[in-house]
Structure 1
Amino acid sequence: MSIIEIILISIGLAMDAFGVSIGKGLTMPNGSNGKKIVLAALFGVFQFVMPLIGWAIGRQFIDIIAEFDHWIIFVLLGYLGISMIRESYNDESDEEVENNNLGFGEMMLLSVATSLDAMAVGLTFAFMDINVWFASGMIGIITFLISLIGIYMGRFMGQFVGRYAELIGGAVLILIGTKILMQHLGIMGEL
């Protein structure tokens, strides 16, 4: 997997956190810079750890399913992409808390909720020739930066961008899964 593909996957995975960040940026008061940075950092940390967990689980089964791993990658990335696209049209995904009190517990819950997709992507990493530490680090850093931007832009951009960010992120995951499948089936060469 090329570095460009890792960056695209990182951006795609960060879109859930970006959408939530925009929503939280709408409700967080201007003087709460510490909370804004902590929230973005938690998103990044969880997006870093979850692929490692998924990878560790996947490595346990690599010998059993190495023959059809490209189908697993295709199905998982496709499912995640479709889920993100579906969520981009769901009004309930934007149910941002009206209360400006964003506690550490809520930040942790949001971090876990927005990083579950990253664990599934980490599972696909187990079947690829990839440096999982580098890929997970890239996912974590990009998520932190995108989330921080989303939080600070929340007041200006509103929910409009959050919806389209998830839509684009989902499409990217589907395209990468399709590319990997086509390469393994010999339909397409390495890019």
Structure 2
Amino acid sequence: MDIFSMFFLAVGLAMDAFSVSITRGMILKCNLKYALTIAIFFGAFQALMPVAGWLAGEQLAALVEVWAPWIAFILLALVGGKMIYEGLREEDEDEDVCRVFSIRDILILSVATSIDAFAVGVTFAFLNTPILLPILIIGLVTFLLSFIGVYIGKKAGHLFGSKIEVLGGLILIAIGIKILLETML
């Protein structure tokens, strides 16, 4: 696989992370250090999952194909549901308060957005593709797109008011449904 193909593969794999990053950025009300945190987690998971898939090879290929979309959907629906719940709760929000998220949430989102990268790693094993260059490209592209996504979400989120978290949750659930539909159709 040439570098050009690897780059486009990386962009394709990073699209879910990019979308989720935008939704997370919409609810941030403080500096962009959280953009860096999200970008590091998403980039690292997106780079490590192909390695796990590559190592698993043939043994888990059929299992991953069947269950990966459902796992991604469930994780995204749970986090999206939590965001909707928190967005609908009545509370006094101070615009200067930094709204943060837990490491657990970041981990769940990192896994949910990188499960497809595991299957790509299995494919790399089948094709006898060396793994180092693809994972570097995948990790870097995901890191950059996630960082940019949080920044875009942060800028756009303030335009929509304090209930943007509900929209973010709905978007996460929609991404999960999209993942399911793509595998069923």
Contact 2:46/2:138 (<8 A) preserved: yes
Task: Supply the distance in 2 between the matched residues of 1:46 and 1:92 (Cα, whole angstroms).
Answer: 19
Q: CA deviation at 1:129?
A: 3.8
Task: Supply the distance in 2 between the matched residues of 1:27 and 1:41 (Cα, whole angstroms).
Answer: 19
One-letter amino acid matched to 1:126: A
| 1:80-95 matches, cutoff 5 A | none
How does the TM-score come out when normalised to structure 1?
0.63
Q: CA deviation at 1:95?
A: 5.6
Task: Report what 2:183 is aligned to.
Answer: none
Task: Report what 2:125 is aligned to.
Answer: 126
Contact 2:42/2:146 (<8 A) preserved: yes
Task: Supply the distance in 1 between the matched residues of 2:106 and 2:48 (Cα, whole angstroms).
Answer: 16
- Cα pair distance change 1:36/1:5, threshold 3 Å: same
RMSD: 3.6
| More displaced stretch, 102-111 vs 145-154 | 102-111
One-letter amino acid matched to 2:54: W
Task: Report what 2:111 is aligned to.
Answer: 112
Is the counterpart of residue 4 in structure 1 residue 4 in structure 2?
Answer: yes
| 1:32-71 matches, cutoff 5 A | 33-58=32-57
Q: CA deviation at 1:35?
A: 2.0
Contact 2:52/2:118 (<8 A) preserved: yes
Contact 1:24/1:96 (<8 A) preserved: no
CA distances 1:124-183 after superposition (whole Å, capped 9, x unpaired) = 010114221110111111100000000001134567xx89xx7xxx9xxxxxxxxxxxxx
Contact 2:35/2:146 (<8 A) preserved: no
One-letter amino acid matched to 2:123: T
One-letter amino acid matched to 1:46: F
Task: Report what 2:153 is aligned to.
Answer: 154
Contact 2:47/2:135 (<8 A) preserved: yes
Identity of aligned residues (%): 37
Task: Report what 1:29 is aligned to.
Answer: 29
